[in-house]
Amino acid sequence: MAPYSLHSALLLTGALSNFGVFVIANDNVFSFSVQDFLKQGESKSARCDELKSLITKGCSKAKIENPRGSISIDKDKPVTNRKKDVAEKLKPDQITQIQPQKLSLNLRSGEAQTFKLKFKRAEDYPIDLYYLMDLSFSMKDDLENVKNLGTDLMREMQEITSDFRIGFGSFVEKTVMPYISTTPARLLNPCTSNENCTSPFSYKNVLRLTENGQKFNSLVSKQQISGNLDSPEGGFDAIMQVAVCGDAIGWRNVTRLLVFSTDAGFHFAGDGKLGGIVLPNDGKCHLENNMYTMSHYYSLSSEVILENNKVPDGVSIKYKSICKNGVVGTGENGRKCSNISIGDEVSFDITIESQKCPSKGKSETIRIKPLGFNEDVEIVLNFICECECSKGGEPLSKICHNGNGTFECGACRCNDGRIGRLCECSTDEVRTDDLDGNCRKDNGTDICSNNGDCVCGTCECKKRENPEERYSGKFCECDNFNCDRSNNKLCGGHGRCECRVCICDANYTGSACDCSLDTSTCLAANKQICNGRGTCECGVCKCTNPKFQGPTCEICPTCPGVCAEHKECVQCRAFETGEKKDTCQRDCTYFNLIRVKDRDKLPQPADQSYPLSHCKERDANDCWFYYTYAVRNDTMREVYVVETLECPAGPDIIPIVAGVVAGIVLIGLALLLIWKLLMIIHDRREFAKFEKEKMNAKWDTVRHPVGSHQHSRLSNKNINFYILFTVQISGVAFIKCL
């Protein structure tokens, strides 16, 4: 059978159903060797489980194996502390820049191992530098500067290290059309006008690495320009030859530097087809007399970067850098440190983890090295894939059906051709139809209840993705994960599930072990169970009188006095006033306060499934405040309070003054109108009286002599006399013409 996969975090590889060897996986997996430990229907891989689960199932700690990973340092030569001006000269193989140099890691699947790697750029470390210069015609105006660059480079490097060698080479272009002109005259002198240029070439090793600085300066100063036709140059051909021609260049096993000097671009892969060159570069050295001969056919760091070779399948490496000034890098930045000067020391935390065992559990070797340096760290990986008990197995054991297997780790590892828990069946003799009947419960149609495989007439139950869940029973008809749950916990967290039935712990009962038999939680302050007003069921009081609530039936929200009882606390919590203002945090945190805008927002008894009291209380300022008090779920106390006080309002001066003024004005107008009306009535009466008296008046018609005389005289003038009677009534003149 294939290896069992127990969980994404619990990988159990190699625990074969017909083998008794148990592979160690991650930190949660253990192995043991008790012979009669397995229950009916459980496979051999059930011996590997979590520590708590194994102990619960009856395995003693003395029988549990729990091998751990480890690290051993095999070679730990300290990094070299060396000064340039010291007379002692060390060979390159005597200088150490990386520590440690060799380690052995014992890896358990899922358990990472971390070690520290130290790197220090040694002072006066030997350096080989090769100067590669472009001599195409475009470099003519830069040639003198380039020559000076080479000599300056030689001088500066001698200031850095006393063990310094330098070499020199040059390049132009592939010597075929259309890169250069192949006419005889142009092959001798590719330059136009009167320029005296050297013949074109692809790459030439002018000076092998040497300590002779004068010779280097002399050769650089004698270089002449050559020429080609196209703009890109053949610099990559030259770089390849410098890298692979170690003997011709003279590279040592020290720091190797290549200085590449050019002013033009480079050819891309496939450009050679223009000249009929179709073969890719073979990566080999092709120098004859220090000249590159196969161009017709092929096409100083301040940063430390760690690299590793290919790691085995299932193994991962993580880097964490601790650089200068405490700068920490993780991820891809964990591989490198920048701005590293000579003499600086940095370190890396390297974590290696294996997720599975390689085939046959053989050791693997990986190497980690700083990029551009020749030193590396050798890491030997040993994988913990089996328990120690497998080493003391009993071959041809009588327990394994007359010696048909090896008894190890409490189970049989069957010989080839044998199967079954005790290797009792032969693969050549077993007839599946005959054995399947033994794997059907009550002669049903389901083999092993569809929860396992029939192996040699015995059910081998399937494994679940969750390692804590398992099938069991002769026909795999039982499991430990389909029992009743409470609070989303199997058997309420107070029992274990066996064959789909909860086996409750002490003091618990019920189908989901959610009923506590402990009555201590039901004791009231008076030491009575449920305060004498209810019964204790599953550790919770069930109040017989519905008006009582609370954990021990001591709360009566609707009883008289509830409002007065909580008045001071509501007042200090909601308005920060009252007698308990200073002790509010101590005495008044037993309820949850919710503020509402107005009285309409207060909860109403008809809308609630629990008793609710409406309260109206007055404070010291004769202000009223309204709130409700209720106990929900027998424990949670809630108070809804109107956030504004209802206080008696004081007199409003402006309306009063305005009312008085308006009243005075209205009263004056009313009085004036009444007086006016009375005067009109009086005047009319007087006028009527006057009219009446006028009608009754008798005038004297006897002519007075004087009057007669005057009358005659006035009559002569045709003037009529009118007697006017004027009556003044309340300032209104009535004039009557007689």
- The full DSSP string for 61-120 is GGGEE----EEEEEE-PPPP---TT-S----GGG---EE--EEEEEEETTB-EEEEEEEE
> What is the average pLDDT across 101-112?
90
pLDDT value at 286 more than 50: yes
- Amino acid 243 reads A
Backbone angles phi, psi at 132, to 5 degrees: -110, 120
Question: 635-683: per-residue pLDDT in tens?
Answer: 788 999 999 988 887 667 888 888 899 999 999 999 999 999 999 999 9
> What is the average pLDDT across 209-236?
74
pLDDT value at 429 more than 50: yes
Question: 404-427: per-residue pLDDT in tens?
Answer: 888 887 788 888 888 777 888 887
Question: 700-730: per-residue pLDDT in tens?
Answer: 444 444 444 444 333 343 444 344 444 444 4
Cα 406 to Cα 403: distance, rounded to the nearest angstrom: 7
What pLDDT does 353 receive? 93
Angle CA 50–52–55, to nearest 5: 105
Question: 44-53: per-residue pLDDT in tens?
Answer: 666 777 777 7
What pLDDT does 89 receive? 67
Torsion of CA 424, 427, 429, 433, to 10 degrees: 90
Contacts of 392 (CB under 8 A, 6+ apart): 408
What pLDDT does 254 receive? 79
What pLDDT does 435 receive? 67
**Confidence grade of residue 7 (pLDDT, cut at 50, 70, 90):** very low
What pLDDT does 679 receive? 93
HSE on the CB side for 46, CA within 13 Å? 25
For the chain, give every domain's residue range: 69-84+92-123+316-386, 127-299, 485-516, 562-642
With a pLDDT cut of 90, the percent of the chain lying above it is 17
> What is the average pLDDT across 270-294?
63
CATH code for 127-299? Answer: 3.40.50.410
Angle CA 114–119–121, to nearest 5: 175
Most confidently modeled range among 89-93, 275-279, 628-632: 628-632
pLDDT value at 14 more than 50: no
Contacts of 712-718 spanning 24+ positions with Cβ under 8 A: none
> What is the average pLDDT across 557-581?
87
Q: What is the distance, to the nearest Å, from the Cα of residue 31 to the centroid of all Cα atoms in its chain?
A: 35
Evaluate the CA torsion angle 687, 688, 691, 696 in order and state its sign: negative
Q: What is the distance, to the nearest Å, from the Cα of residue 544 to the centroid of all Cα atoms in its chain?
A: 51
DSSP 383-452: EE-S-GGGGG-BTT-TTTTTTSEEEETTEEEEPTTEESTTS-EETTT--HHHHHGGGBGGG-SSBGGGTE
What pLDDT does 595 receive? 93
Cα 591 to Cα 8: distance, rounded to the nearest angstrom: 46
- Asked which of 25-29, 195-199, 689-693 is least confident by mean pLDDT, the reply is 25-29
- Asked which of 106-120, 123-137, 188-202, 522-536 is least confident by mean pLDDT, the reply is 188-202
- Asked which of 239-248, 274-283, 458-467, 659-668 is least confident by mean pLDDT, the reply is 274-283
Task: Retrieve residue 684's tokens.
Answer: 């009319």
- Asked which of 20-29, 52-61, 114-123, 391-400 is least confident by mean pLDDT, the reply is 20-29
Cα 105 to Cα 77: distance, rounded to the nearest angstrom: 18
Instruction: Please name the helix (run of DSSP H) or strand (run of DSSP E) that holds residue 567, with its range, or none.
Output: helix 562-575
Candidates 3.30.1390.20, 3.30.930.10, 2.60.40.10, 2.10.25.10; correct CATH number of 485-516? Answer: 2.10.25.10
**Confidence grade of residue 574 (pLDDT, cut at 50, 70, 90):** very high
Contacts of 440 (CB under 8 A, 6+ apart): 446, 447, 475
Cα 457 to Cα 266: distance, rounded to the nearest angstrom: 74
pLDDT value at 486 more than 70: yes
pLDDT value at 17 more than 50: no
Cα 403 to Cα 417: distance, rounded to the nearest angstrom: 13
What pLDDT does 39 receive? 66
Class of the CATH-defined domain 562-642:
few secondary structures
What pLDDT does 707 receive? 42
Cα 517 to Cα 509: distance, rounded to the nearest angstrom: 7
With a pLDDT cut of 70, the percent of the chain lying above it is 76
- Asked which of 275-279, 280-284, 648-652, 679-683 is least confident by mean pLDDT, the reply is 275-279
Question: 136-163: per-residue pLDDT in tens?
Answer: 777 777 767 766 776 677 777 777 777 7
Name which residue leads in pLDDT, 372 or 285.
Answer: 285
Q: Which of 220, 223, 260 is nearest to 240 (CA)?
A: 260
Contacts of 622 (CB under 8 A, 6+ apart): 647, 648
pLDDT value at 27 more than 60: no
- Amino acid 708 reads S
Q: Architecture of 69-84+92-123+316-386 per CATH? A: Sandwich (2.60)
What pLDDT does 204 receive? 85
> What is the average pLDDT across 534-543?
89
Please answer whether residues 412 and 405 qualify as being in contact, where contact means their C-beta atoms are separated by less than 8 angstroms. yes
**Confidence grade of residue 12 (pLDDT, cut at 50, 70, 90):** very low
Other beta carbons within 10 Å of 139: 22
Please answer whether residues 172 and 202 qualify as being in contact, where contact means their C-beta atoms are separated by less than 8 angstroms. yes
> What is the average pLDDT across 19-44?
50
Output the average pLDDT for the chain. 77
The structure tokens 């050819």 sit at 267
> What is the average pLDDT across 688-696?
85
**Confidence grade of residue 88 (pLDDT, cut at 50, 70, 90):** low
Q: What is the distance, to the nearest Å, from the Cα of residue 538 to the centroid of all Cα atoms in its chain?
A: 41
Task: Retrieve residue 666's tokens.
Answer: 């209205």
Other beta carbons within 10 Å of 261: 18
Name which residue leads in pLDDT, 556 or 379.
Answer: 379
Cα 420 to Cα 454: distance, rounded to the nearest angstrom: 10
Please answer whether residues 57 and 42 qualify as being in contact, where contact means their C-beta atoms are separated by less than 8 angstroms. no
Q: Which of 716, 715, 713, 575 is nearest to 642 (CA)?
A: 575
Q: β-pairing, 636-642 with 724-729? A: unpaired
Coil, helix or strand for 367?
A: strand
> What is the average pLDDT across 674-694?
90
> 534 pairs with which residues across the strands?
543
Please answer whether residues 515 and 508 qualify as being in contact, where contact means their C-beta atoms are separated by less than 8 angstroms. yes
Please answer whether residues 328 and 322 qualify as being in contact, where contact means their C-beta atoms are separated by less than 8 angstroms. yes
> What is the average pLDDT across 510-527?
87
Cα 386 to Cα 409: distance, rounded to the nearest angstrom: 10
Cα 590 to Cα 582: distance, rounded to the nearest angstrom: 16
